[in-house]
Structure 1
Amino acid sequence: MQRVEWNNRAISTLHAIYIATISLYFVFWSDLYSDQFAGLITLRCSQLSTFALGVSVGYFLADLGMILWFYPALGGFEYVIHHLLSIAAVAYAMLTGEGQLYTYMVLISETTTPGVNLRWYLDAIGKKRSRAYVINGVVMFFAWLVARIILFMYLFYHFYLHYDQVKQLRSFGLFLVSVVPLVLTVMNMMWFMKIVKGLKKTMAKTQ
Structure 2
Amino acid sequence: METYTCLCGTIIACSFGTFQALFHWASPMLSRRFCAGFSDLPVKKIIEWHSRTVSTLHALIVGTFCLYILWFDEAVNIDPVWGEPFTVQLSIAITTGYLFSDLLLILHYWRDIGDRFFIMHHLSAVYAYYYVLTIGVLPYFANFRQLAELSTPFVNQRWFLEAMGYPKKSRLYVVSGVAMAVAFFVVRIAVLPPYYMRMLSTIRSPVFDTLGIGPKISWLAASLCLDVMNLIWMYKIARGCYKVLFVTQRASNKSINGKEN
What TM-score do you get using the length of structure 2 for normalisation? 0.73
Percent sequence identity over aligned pairs: 28
Does residue 1:158 correspond to 2:158, yes or no? no
- Structure 1 counterpart of 2:179, one-letter code: V
**1:20 partner SS:** helix
When Rg is computed on C-alpha atoms for both structures, the one with the higher figure is 2
- The answer to whether the 8 Å contact 2:151/2:187 transfers is yes
Instruction: Describe how 1:10-21 pairs up with structure 2 within 5 A.
Output: 10-21=53-64
Deviates more, 1:8-17 or 1:68-77: 68-77
Deviates more, 1:107-116 or 1:87-96: 87-96
Match of 1:122 in 2: 161
Going from structure 1 to structure 2, the CA distance change for 1:81 and 1:34 (only over 3 Å counts) comes to closer
- Across the aligned residues of Structure 1 and Structure 2, the Cα RMSD in angstroms comes to 1.5
How far residue 45 of structure 1 moved from its aligned partner, in angstroms, is 2.9
Q: Which blocks of at least 5 consecutive residues in structure 1 are unaligned?
A: none
- Structure 2 counterpart of 1:67, one-letter code: I
How far residue 202 of structure 1 moved from its aligned partner, in angstroms, is 1.0
- The answer to whether the 8 Å contact 1:16/1:111 transfers is yes
Q: What is the number of residues matched between the two proteins?
A: 203
How far residue 139 of structure 1 moved from its aligned partner, in angstroms, is 1.3
**1:156 partner SS:** helix
Q: Distance in 2 between matches of 1:49 and 1:123?
A: 35
Does residue 1:201 correspond to 2:240, yes or no? no
Does residue 1:3 correspond to 2:42, yes or no? no
**Aligned pair partner of 2:125 in 86, 91, 98:** 86
- The answer to whether the 8 Å contact 1:26/1:104 transfers is yes
Does residue 1:132 correspond to 2:172, yes or no? yes
Match of 1:30 in 2: 73
Structure showing the higher helix proportion among its residues: 2
Deviating above 3 A after TM superposition, structure 1's stretches of 4 or more consecutive aligned residues are none
Cα deviation code 1:119-151 (max 9, x no counterpart)? 110000011422111111111222122111121
How far residue 72 of structure 1 moved from its aligned partner, in angstroms, is 4.3
Q: Which blocks of at least 5 consecutive residues in structure 2 are unaligned?
A: 1-43, 251-261
**1:127 partner SS:** coil
Does residue 1:59 correspond to 2:102, yes or no? no
**Aligned pair partner of 1:146 in 161, 180, 186:** 186
- Structure 1 counterpart of 2:232, one-letter code: M
What TM-score do you get using the length of structure 1 for normalisation? 0.91
